[in-house]
Amino acid sequence: MIPAEAHGTIALRASACTSCMICVRECPTWCIELDSHTEQVSDPGARRPKTVNVLDAFRIDFGLCMYCGICVDLCPFDALAWSPEHDHAATTAAGLVQGITELQTAWPPTGPPTDN
């Protein structure tokens, strides 16, 4: 049986990700890619609309990832976590690249608390 705190794969909670790029820039193997755009949102009561980053794509290439955990440690928003899920086997190198959908599926029950 795989313990809940096992470092099987890395999971993403896209709703917590601010597209700050810290994980992308600090990953030693350059295996994270992120696309985002900015949008203006107006809060009721705020004088001016504020600019927020909107996450469009997030990919981890598990063919390059060395499971060092630097991205998990450095994410200031707890949007990345270790998951006991095992990343899926693939028959091609490209198949080891996981996007938002796969990375969210692995979000662990024991991960940092969700706020939504």
Partner 1 sequence: MTSQGRIDVAPADWEQVVSGLQREGFVLFDFITAVDRGARLEVVARVINPATRVPVMVWTTLPADAAELSSLSGIYLGATWCEREAAEMFGVRFIGLGDSRPLLLRASLGEPPMRKSSALVARAIRDWPGAAQSTDDGRQGANPSRRRQLPPGVPEGFLRDNPLDSDVSGDVR
Burial class (CB in 10 A: 0-12, 13-18, 19+), 10: buried
By CB under 6 A, residue 79 contacts ligand SF4: yes
Judged by the rule CB under 8 A, the positions of this chain that interact with partner 1 are: 19, 21, 24-25, 30, 32-40, 53
Exposure on the CB side of residue 30, measured as CA atoms within 13 A: 0
Length of the chain: 116
Nearest residue (CB) to partner 1, 4 versus 21: 21
Contact partner, 53, from partner 1, ligand SF4, none, Cβ < 5-8 Å per class: partner 1
At residue 33, the 3 state secondary structure works out as strand
| Residues of the shown chain interacting with ligand SF4 in the complex, contacts defined by CB under 6 A | 10, 17-23, 27-29, 31-32, 34, 60, 65-71, 75, 77, 79-80
